[in-house]
Amino acid sequence: MEAAALIHSTTPANAEKALREELTHLGLEWRVFKDYMPDWVDTAFDSRAGVLQLKTFLSRNVGLDIADNGQLIGCELPVARFKTTRGTTHDQVIAARCVATACARLVGKMTLSPWMGMPNDPAEFRRMVLAASENGWPDLSSMLTVLWSLGIPVLYMPSLPASGRKMEGMACFVSGRPVIVLTKKVPHPDWLLFLLGHEAGHIAEGHLPMAEGEAIVDDTVDYTDDENDGGDQQEREANRYSTRTLGEGGQEVHFKKLMRADLLAGVALTYARQKSMNPGYVVLNAVHNSPIDGKKPYGLGQAALKALPDFQHGRTTDEICKDALNAHVDPEFLRDDSLEFLEKLGVL
């Protein structure tokens, strides 16, 4: 029996309610997804064929499957290497992983550069990033340029439409290449530098199996490099790769004394030019390494970032990531409805 004949939609309202319940069971919220659906979604529930068309769209673009009885079911993915914080279970981030993987697969299909391999030596990767930088230090634009040129797409999805917990970052292998997905919403582009270097490190260090659907899911990245902390060895290796990309030899920065945000910005800029380090990263690294009364002064760091010159030329994190993506893909490789979906998600 065809799947269409098994979809019992007596009325549009009942059909929409049934779909909403199916998605909720999978950790996805229809009220969120509806905003990203094609324009014909409002009429899809008028007929069985329309419901099947909508489910086919969800299957193709959200990574779901359609069971023999016509219901949506979760996608079959290899067991991911979850790097989760204490108290977080794999099930809490599986919905986010499923959606992120589906979007990564779509973008991977239209990426122009072939997968070239990733330098195992972070010093070599740092040299490549510096060569691509207009400012003389690693920044988000130059890191993205190099990763895309190596055939590693990077998606920025801070509004990932999945209920439950969302990971900060993920490295997955889809469409014959590794893809990095960043979902952490940040107030300034420089907040993403360490996280992006960390996910790149997972790829460079060989942590990610090169097989379709494999993934390393970082619920929360711990910025430590301490071998005695009892943490995950792969996480430490990814952290080291990131710090050695952003600073020669993994240079770390500490406050010698507490100072005003504008003074911190000036000191960071001078230090950055001397060491070929991003001044925003200098600020954030110093904040991380210089707790005050046991707390890291991230408010001071954010104020110092605002006091730095605008090296992003007014572009937001979202705009920087979109510019890099659109410079390295050919939309002709995707269906129009998939392109529209990615546009509504803010990926394109």
Q: Which residues contact 262 (CB under 8 A, 6 or more apart)?
A: 304, 307
Other Cβ atoms within 10 Å of 30 Cβ, number: 16
Over the stretch 126-166, which tens digit does the pLDDT of each residue have?
Answer: 999 999 999 999 999 999 999 999 999 999 999 888 766 77
Half-sphere exposure of 118 (CA within 13 A, CB side): 26
Per the CB < 8 A criterion, the answer to whether 18 and 85 are in contact is: no
Nearest of 100, 156, 191, 200 to residue 318 by alpha carbon: 156
What gap in Å lies between CA 335 and CA 137, rounded to an integer? Answer: 38
Q: Where are the domains of the chain?
A: 3-74, 77-250+313-348, 251-312
- Beta-bridge partners for 169: 182, 218
Average pLDDT over residues 27-55: 89
Beta bridge partners of 218: 83, 169
141-151 pLDDT, tens digit per residue, is 999 999 999 99
Phi and psi at residue 237, in whole multiples of 5°? -65, -40
Is it the case that residue 317 has pLDDT exceeding 90?
yes
Contact in structure between 342 and 103 (CB atoms under 8 Å)? yes
Distance of CA 196 to the CA centre of its chain: 8
- pTM of the predicted structure, to 2 decimals: 0.90
pLDDT tens digits, one per residue of 3-33: 444 444 457 888 889 888 988 888 888 888 8
Tokens 């991911």, residue? Answer: 80
The mean pLDDT of 83-92, rounded to a whole number, is 54
Residue 292 — φ and ψ, nearest 5°?
-120, 120
